[in-house]
Structure 1
């Protein structure tokens, strides 16, 4: 089996070159971040001045009051912390609205709604497909929800011993602790990585993208590096390629390779299945113990130049590619 699928993760550059590129990227990010917040401060200052001017004009014209124009509104960009007002929601399904508000994915929102944790106009609604009306007010956890306009996309190189959830009743460390300085927006992980699995993890408040990447029909590819307790023999290697029958059905992988020809216990595996603990179960089914599992690629994104436990924002190009990822697979077939 060719190892072409894994060569793209080999970095031929010298360490000094990689470090310098990383320093330049950090420098550029800090500059852009400073410029962004300077812009926000300037916008707020202008808005305050406009409001002050309107109040002064109102006092001067008490004898003949006239309708005043609202102060100019600035359009929030990036990770803006400005307050937001609801967009038109007419006929939008309730679970989709929750996703747009950055609460969770549509699938998870459906569960929250069925459990009676969401209210519309202060009355519980348990139907995920409930069509909202323009004047409806939606509450979750006693908080009124507004559609999120400031979308955030974060790539995290997840370390072990962190769980992929927004909170944990047992008080264990969560991935949100690693990105708390990244944004004030409420973001949530796309998919899950086990506590003992490391590697690429995406977090966002974009409900539509979360729904897309989580749906099996889009066949999102993932590549893992697997470290076994013993070398993978050729017979088992071939069994995996042919397909295995697990307790929840047949599983096929897209490609398989020895990541290191000198150590047959280190395996590279590519697949698009999103079934729970699927990589571990493949090898456990054949009598192997997975000692280490690292996701090196997800939906075309890698952890290159992102140290373990660190994060970065996605570029506009990466976001655009994700939104059009495998779009042809979901187009309706012609009769």
Structure 2
């Protein structure tokens, strides 16, 4: 077992916990726990000392897999209809990763949460494992805003039912706000922080409506402004910081 700091003849050193964090495994504090527990090896040797610095060229392994340090990337995509948000699809359908040009983003990013095959709108992708876990956590309370188009006008009674909270098969579905769009009772804006599977569609289907179109137009403080359908942008530092601050107390 090797417990002393690793040196590098070229002076290119990085703290081991930062290396693990940059690899998208977890936050630095959690990385220190992995190190102390002996779960991390560097060049084949177990490392247990908190604060150890290692060469950037070192081979770091966790659970039998070699970690790869990449530049952390944060993307915002305006998802079109007809794409799945899984990394690959057994049916051979296109995935959102097919929309990310390797010419501009060499790193392999992953979608946070999911949007249905026929659902359009905002999707955040990143290789920051810590942030992805926190944003996906049920207690993160990240608000999502959707534009819903129904097959028929919503009744006053059903509108109030949704506002009050509907009892679905897996519990109460609570919305943060609900409004009619452009004075058209077939179009609604719904804000919700719940992350349950297909929750928006299930709310309306429970009351006998078909959702003809579902578009996520807001995620936390982010909007689709200036992002055409099927296009994506790198998030600005300010937006990344706001996302991190939003979930800084969310457990991993």
Could you say which TM-score interval applies, normalised by the shorter chain? 0.7 to 0.9
2:68 is aligned with 1:138: no
Matches within 5 A, 1:102-181: 102=24, 131-135=38-42, 136=46, 137-138=60-61, 144-148=66-70, 150-181=71-102
Of the three residues 124, 147, 151, the one matched with 1:229 is 151
Distance across 1 between alignment mates of 2:38 and 2:214: 43
* Contact 2:80 2:230 survives alignment (8 Å): yes
Matches within 5 A, 1:1-335: 70=10, 87-89=15-17, 100-102=22-24, 131-135=38-42, 136=46, 137-138=60-61, 144-148=66-70, 150-181=71-102, 182-261=104-183, 263-325=184-246, 327=248, 330=250
Worse overlay, 217-226 or 177-186: 177-186
Q: Which has the larger radius of gyration?
A: 1
Deviation at 1:144, TM superposition (A): 2.5
Deviation at 1:326, TM superposition (A): 5.2
CA separation of 1:258 and 1:303: change in aligned 2, threshold 3 A? same
RMSD: 3.0
Distance across 2 between alignment mates of 1:201 and 1:173: 15
Distance across 2 between alignment mates of 1:152 and 1:313: 7
* Contact 2:41 2:62 survives alignment (8 Å): no
Consecutive aligned runs of 4 or more in structure 1 exceeding 4 Å deviation: none
Distance across 1 between alignment mates of 2:250 and 2:94: 37
Residue 125 (structure 1) aligns with: none
Of Structure 1 and Structure 2, the greater helix share is in 1
Report 1 or 2 for greater relative contact order, CA contacts < 8 Å, sequence distance ≥ 6.
2
Deviation at 1:169, TM superposition (A): 2.4
Q: Which 5+ residue runs of structure 2 have no aligned equivalent?
A: 1-8, 28-36, 47-59
Distance across 1 between alignment mates of 2:111 and 2:140: 18
Query: Aligned pair count?
Result: 220
Distance across 1 between alignment mates of 2:40 and 2:237: 33
TM-score of the two chains, using structure 1 as the length reference: 0.60
Offset from partner CA, 1:226-279 (integer Å, 9 cap, x none) = 010000111100000011100001111000000120x21001000100000000
* Contact 1:229 1:289 survives alignment (8 Å): yes
Of Structure 1 and Structure 2, the greater strand share is in 2
Residue 114 (structure 1) aligns with: none
